Structure 1
Amino acid sequence: MWPADMSVPKVGVLVVNLGTPDEPTAPAIRRYLRQFLSDPRVIEIPRLVWWPILNGPILLSRPRKLVERYAGIWMEGGSPLLVYSQRQAFGLEKTLRARGHEVEVEIGMRYGNPSLESALQKLRDKGCERILTLSLYPQYAASTTATVVDEVCRIASRMRNQPEMRFIKRFHDFEPYIDAVASKIEHAWSEGSRPEKLVMSFHGLPRRCADLGDPYCKDSYGTARALAKRLDLTDDQYLVTFQSRFGPAEWLQPYTEPTLIKLAESGVRHVDVVCPGFLADCLETLEEISIECRDAFMNAGGQQFRYIPCLNDDQQWVEGLTSLVLDHLQGWPTRAHGD
């Protein structure tokens, strides 16, 4: 006999970002780094080789060095990445409901808190039988989007009553995303002069990963070309660079900081830097770009350096994020009474 309740299954969206320490202290940073750098999708080095390095020099010394850097960007509600990711998730749910869609939204971090498991459980507790996972990574990489898929599926593998699931793989050239980033740039330019060069800095990736077929580099250049077209930039008005490399191996080039130094030494006096691959400001943007790269450029002879913030809780982006989600929810009734 069928159950009496034959209502339309409830829909949920799991919004995911990378993660962050719980607080700007060495123990909290150590816990976060241990989980993050233990992921074989992130560090593709044999465990027998990597494990002594991770648990030796990295976890023994690096957390203490990062305390001051994290403390310098910390917000009242936590790290900027967490605060702005939460605001994006809240804005998404609010906008979905304003458009007439009954969808539950929860935020989870791939590493750290709130965990993916806790976020998924909240959606299940709210009765969600259909769940769309949205990773806040516009460009696909095995070390970002794929590891989210891995973990969500691992958690679901332990559920007796699994939800129906979908995943958004990438949105590197999604028009509302491009428009939102372009609007942030245009707003900065409306408040001051345009730069001689616009540097689009994406997070780095080991060259070996790209050689093995990871499409991240292609996606990043796709985003850059779409932005350049939207901003009506010629090829000599912008550059694509890659930041945040880790370890001695070759990563995608050109590297951001050395490129900025070369620009200053060649006579370029004014640059703007934007980080389209980051949807929320974090240590890699507020500290590495806005402080370290700025200092490197100015010390090499530059005169004006402007960092253009990430989309964060920008309302235009929240509207775009809502459109992206609705595109991927097609076929799953989300309106009252299944309308």
Structure 2
Amino acid sequence: MHHDPVAAHVTQPRVGVLLVNLGTPDAPTPAAIRRYLGEFLSDPRVIEIPRAIWWPILHGFILPFRPRRLAHAYASIWYENGAPLLVHTRALAAGVEAGLSGGNGEPAIPVFPAMRYGSPSIASALADARERGVRRLVVIPLYPQYSATTTASVMDAVFDNLSGERWMPELRSVHSYHDDPGYIAALAESVRRHWDAHGRGEHLLMSFHGIPQRYFDAGDPYHCLCHKTARLLAEALDLDDSTCSVTFQSRFGKAPWLQPYTDERIDALAAAGVRRLDAICPGFASDCLETLEEMAMQYGDRFRAAGGEALRYIPALNADDAHVEAITTLARRQLDGWMPDAIDPELIARRAAVL
């Protein structure tokens, strides 16, 4: 196929959106989980331990054994059509693409789903965008609350994968949307929908993924952003400190992580007489191992063992209409002034004559 560099250089840049989620193993098997964990736990944004200390731990103790222990957990939440996080992220991307196209004759704006770790990779999504002529790209890491361990890591990977490009695309990115009105409204709607279907529990637990306390002490704003999200959600639902709690889950290792810990708070609520506990994980855009297995299954069993009656997990926003609308609005905000126009044939002809 003949490639016309003049036309490529003077054509109105095509815009696109890159939606990036954390990632997932390709299959619920020890081998696939080992590959995924190897990539995830090798990220210096995630593990801020000197390589000389961390590498023997990772390759000598974690990767040889942990994947086998996790295989059953992943298998317990796996969908027929794949990993929940990947299935929901693809559905969200399709919804956002449909929302951006508008159905009113506007040119289609492609939306590329990608995973920070695993497949489809950021590299493959960027290559797809390049093949489709995208010269202006909005990057939306699907982490509502910014952290260096998540959002910054995504941007690291984007720039790393573009470092060899001769003609890099223009980039805009969403730093955080922890207090975005559309996102808060979508969360509140999901809780109300749960209450309408199952009745209202006595307490709402808002559990976020934890990070090591020393990351927060070093300046990571994640803890504060989580609390603002929780405050806004509580206000939208007319809850106070007696009827809701903010906690942090999924800690790993012996060092202190953000507190209060979700498991300990669950024990305390059961001991205080709470029998029906509603739980939501506002930091997860899509359901995954931490929500479906850790929260719904592990913590559900723990709550019952501590004397509670039922922990009712409220699903992540996934590809709900309100979530699609919120992310589409974020994308449109970044796309302002970037919307594609038609190719100017006269400009191409003038440039070609000069060259």
Kindly state the Cα deviation for residue 335 of structure 1 after the two structures are TM-superposed.
Answer: 6.0
Counterpart in the other structure of 1:96: 100
Q: In the aligned structure 2, how far is the partner of 1:335 from the partner of 1:76? A: 41
Counterpart in the other structure of 2:352: none
Structure 1 segment 298-337 matched on structure 2, within 5 A: 298-334=304-340
Kindly state the Cα deviation for residue 329 of structure 1 after the two structures are TM-superposed.
Answer: 1.1
Counterpart in the other structure of 2:73: 69
Q: In the aligned structure 1, how far is the partner of 2:15 from the partner of 2:8? A: 20
The match for 2:192 among 183, 186, 192 is 186
Counterpart in the other structure of 2:172: 166
Q: In the aligned structure 1, how far is the partner of 2:185 from the partner of 2:8? A: 47
Kindly state the Cα deviation for residue 213 of structure 1 after the two structures are TM-superposed.
Answer: 0.5
One-letter amino acid of the counterpart of residue 88, structure 2: Y
Q: In the aligned structure 1, how far is the partner of 2:8 from the partner of 2:315? A: 52
Alignment of 1:29 with 2:33, yes or no, is yes
One-letter amino acid of the counterpart of residue 317, structure 1: H
Give CA deviations for 1:134-178 in whole Å, capped at 9, x if unaligned: 110000000000000011001111111111111111000101111
Q: In the aligned structure 1, how far is the partner of 2:9 from the partner of 2:290? A: 49
Counterpart in the other structure of 1:175: 181
Matched residue SS, 1:271:
strand
The match for 2:58 among 54, 70, 78 is 54
Alignment of 1:15 with 2:11, yes or no, is no
Note if contact 2:12-2:342 (Cα within 8 Å) is conserved in structure 1.
no
Counterpart in the other structure of 1:78: 82
Note if contact 1:102-1:335 (Cα within 8 Å) is conserved in structure 2.
no
The match for 1:264 among 270, 276, 290 is 270
Kindly state the Cα deviation for residue 5 of structure 1 after the two structures are TM-superposed.
Answer: 6.5
Q: In the aligned structure 1, how far is the partner of 2:302 from the partner of 2:242? A: 22
Note if contact 1:96-1:103 (Cα within 8 Å) is conserved in structure 2.
yes
The match for 1:122 among 128, 146, 157 is 128
Kindly state the Cα deviation for residue 102 of structure 1 after the two structures are TM-superposed.
Answer: 2.8
- Unpaired runs of 5+ residues, structure 1, are none
Q: In the aligned structure 1, how far is the partner of 2:8 from the partner of 2:112? A: 29
Q: In the aligned structure 2, how far is the partner of 1:209 from the partner of 1:277? A: 17
Counterpart in the other structure of 2:43: 39
Counterpart in the other structure of 1:236: 242
Note if contact 1:11-1:102 (Cα within 8 Å) is conserved in structure 2.
no
Give CA deviations for 1:304-339 in whole Å, capped at 9, x if unaligned: 22100001110111111111110111121246679x
Matched residue SS, 2:219:
coil
Kindly state the Cα deviation for residue 188 of structure 1 after the two structures are TM-superposed.
Answer: 0.7
Note if contact 1:102-1:336 (Cα within 8 Å) is conserved in structure 2.
no
Q: In the aligned structure 2, how far is the partner of 1:96 from the partner of 1:215? A: 31
Alignment of 1:292 with 2:267, yes or no, is no
Matched residue SS, 1:235:
coil
- Unpaired runs of 5+ residues, structure 2, are 345-355
Give CA deviations for 1:176-233 in whole Å, capped at 9, x if unaligned: 1111111110011112321111000000010000000000001000100110111111
Kindly state the Cα deviation for residue 43 of structure 1 after the two structures are TM-superposed.
Answer: 0.4
Kindly state the Cα deviation for residue 236 of structure 1 after the two structures are TM-superposed.
Answer: 1.5
One-letter amino acid of the counterpart of residue 78, structure 1: G
Note if contact 2:12-2:341 (Cα within 8 Å) is conserved in structure 1.
no
One-letter amino acid of the counterpart of residue 62, structure 2: I
Counterpart in the other structure of 1:143: 149
Alignment of 1:276 with 2:296, yes or no, is no
Kindly state the Cα deviation for residue 29 of structure 1 after the two structures are TM-superposed.
Answer: 0.4
Note if contact 1:202-1:277 (Cα within 8 Å) is conserved in structure 2.
yes
Kindly state the Cα deviation for residue 4 of structure 1 after the two structures are TM-superposed.
Answer: 8.2
Which is greater in Rg? 2
Q: 1:249 to 1:5 in 2, by over 3 A?
A: closer
Matched residue SS, 2:63:
helix
Note if contact 1:8-1:333 (Cα within 8 Å) is conserved in structure 2.
no
Structure 1 segment 104-115 matched on structure 2, within 5 A: 104-115=110-121
Alignment of 1:221 with 2:236, yes or no, is no
Kindly state the Cα deviation for residue 6 of structure 1 after the two structures are TM-superposed.
Answer: 3.2
Kindly state the Cα deviation for residue 76 of structure 1 after the two structures are TM-superposed.
Answer: 2.0
Kindly state the Cα deviation for residue 101 of structure 1 after the two structures are TM-superposed.
Answer: 5.2
One-letter amino acid of the counterpart of residue 111, structure 1: Y
Identical pairs, percent = 51
One-letter amino acid of the counterpart of residue 312, structure 2: R
TM-score, reference length from structure 1: 0.97
CA RMSD of aligned residues (A): 1.6
Give CA deviations for 1:17-73 in whole Å, capped at 9, x if unaligned: 011000011110000000000000000101000000000110010000011111111
Q: 1:269 to 1:115 in 2, by over 3 A?
A: same
191-200 or 287-296, which moves further after superposition?
A: 191-200
Q: In the aligned structure 2, how far is the partner of 1:59 from the partner of 1:77? A: 26
Matched residue SS, 1:43:
coil
